[in-house]
């Protein structure tokens, strides 16, 4: 039986229109995104299969082009669509950051970071440059590393902050392992960068560590 033959209240699209997107399960949302299934497999059944195979929505959307396109029922057109959706989310969240005082809205920063570097398979170290009113000047990935680490050089961080005329900065990096808990090395480099920034009168406001399920703030932990 196709989804069109289901009771209206059980159809994902109708459910979304009646109760909002938040009322849908991951599989139902993915079914709406896919639009249709395969011969003999409706969109919702296909979505459930994909979530089982990939492991989660995040793994589905962050899969490589090769892995994604190898799966029957997906292909390059749907891969392009996933990447477009992710970029639209990043740009929308970035616009929100540009409109607000960044340091007063840590939830906005966390949401942006989850979409901008949380999907990365390797470690990415990012800087958010802020003006004297803590408004965003620019968000910029500065260092890239292996799956385990990103080399961070305080001199380059300071030079980049000065080049952007930043009065304050926020640091962020992801943990490709998915575990957001900061390591000893994370705390050590944060201390070094705090000291280096203080020498040029730039305030280090926070350091966010991005995992699969959460984003941890050093400031909220009382470490800055």
This prediction has a pTM of 0.80
3-class SS at 209?
strand
User: How high does pLDDT run on average in the chain?
Assistant: 89
102-221 fold: Cytidine Deaminase; domain 2 (3.40.140)
Beta carbons within 10 angstroms of residue 148's beta carbon: 10
For the cut 80, the answer to whether the pLDDT of residue 93 exceeds it is yes
The yes/no answer on whether domain 8-87 falls in CATH 1.10.1670 is no
- Name the residue with higher pLDDT: 7 or 88: 88
Sign of CA pseudo-dihedral 223, 101, 90, 106 = positive
Tally Cβ neighbours within 10 Å of residue 27: 19
Neighbours of 162 (CB within 10 A): 13
CA 76 to mean position of chain CA atoms? 22
Residue 43 pLDDT > 80, yes or no? yes
Domain ranges across the chain: 8-87, 102-221
Residue 62's CB is within 10 A of a number of other CB atoms, namely 17
pLDDT recorded at residue 82: 92
Residues 44/27, Cβ–Cβ less than 8 Å: yes
Region 156-179 average pLDDT: 94
Residue 149: per-residue pLDDT: 66
Of 41-55, 70-84, 136-150, the one with minimum mean pLDDT is 136-150
């Amino acid at each position: 039986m196709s989804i069109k033959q289901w009771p209206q209240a059980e159809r994902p699209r109708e459910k979304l229109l009646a109760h909002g997107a938040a009322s849908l399960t991951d599989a139902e949302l993915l079914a709406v995104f896919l639009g249709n299934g395969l011969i003999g497999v409706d969109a919702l059944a296909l979505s459930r299969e994909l979530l089982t195979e990939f492991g989660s929505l995040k793994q589905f959307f962050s899969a490589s082009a090769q892995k994604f396109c190898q799966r029957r029922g997906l292909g390059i057109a749907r891969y392009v669509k996933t990447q477009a959706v992710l970029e639209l989310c990043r740009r929308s969240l970035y616009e929100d950051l540009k409109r607000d005082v960044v340091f007063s809205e840590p939830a906005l920063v966390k949401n942006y970071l989850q979409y901008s570097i949380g999907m990365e398979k390797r470690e990415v170290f990012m800087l958010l440059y802020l003006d004297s009113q803590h408004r965003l000047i620019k968000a910029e990935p500065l260092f890239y590393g292996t799956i385990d680490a990103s080399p961070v050089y305080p001199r380059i961080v300071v030079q980049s902050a000065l080049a952007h005329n930043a009065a304050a900065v926020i640091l962020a990096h992801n943990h490709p392992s998915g575990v957001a808990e900061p390591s000893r090395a994370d705390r050590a480099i944060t201390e070094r960068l705090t000291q280096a920034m203080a020498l040029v009168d730039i305030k280090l406001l926070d350091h966010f560590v991005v995992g699969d399920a959460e984003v941890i703030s050093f400031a909220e932990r009382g470490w800055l």
